[in-house]
Amino acid sequence: GGLSGTEPAEMRMGLYEDRPVWVSPRPRENFGDKRAQGAEVAASWRPMQWWKLSGSYAWLQVMAISRDGSSAGLGLEGPVPEHQVHLRTYVDLPGNVEASALFFGGSPNEPMGIEPYKKLDLSIRWRAPRALELSLTLQNLLHGNDREFIEVASPVTVPVRPSAFGEITWRF
């Protein structure tokens, strides 16, 4: 599919489903196409029965091609980092308790104005002998107000902040 967007124009705030959004008075227009290529390698290893490690590396290159066949001037190389690393460890603890940690790193995305970032999530889960599970997860522990993604069609971005949540699951 093609790339669409608007030329620089006066933007104004509007409402969509009672939420503020940016609105452009100009119609969208097809600027060209995007091409993507990449590779990913993943592995997992269980050094002990109660411990599992997994990881992956991904390379993704996205290039915008304008109508005349050049890639100059579009500035839409892609909303994802070119290099991504993912490492995870799982540990089975006594008493039906599981713990896990996830590390994720992404290279800078200079065309989109995104700095390199690191992410760490920690989770602990307890499974009762019957149908009950309780868990606590801490997400984005290495983030301040970093941005992982920028919406090309809107000047508004939402930073990723550390968060915590609990979960109760009852299976019947």
Which phi and psi (to 5°) does residue 156 adopt?
-95, 130
The C-alpha atoms of residue 141 and residue 138 are separated, in whole angstroms, by: 7
Q: Specify the pLDDT at position 55.
A: 96
Q: Which tens digits make up the pLDDT trace of 5-27?
A: 444 455 566 666 666 666 655 55
Percent of the chain with pLDDT over 90: 37
Q: Specify the pLDDT at position 69.
A: 60
Q: Which tens digits make up the pLDDT trace of 110-148?
A: 766 677 778 899 999 999 878 899 999 999 898 766 665
Cβ neighbours for 118, distance < 8 A, ≥ 6 positions apart: 103, 104, 105, 142
When pLDDT is averaged across residues 146-169 and rounded to a whole number, the result is 72
Query: pLDDT grade, residue 152 (50/70/90)?
Result: low
Question: Residue 81, class by beta-carbon neighbours within 10 Å (0-12 exposed, 13-18 middle, 19+ buried)?
Answer: buried
Residue 167 has pLDDT above 60, yes or no: yes
Q: Specify the pLDDT at position 160.
A: 74
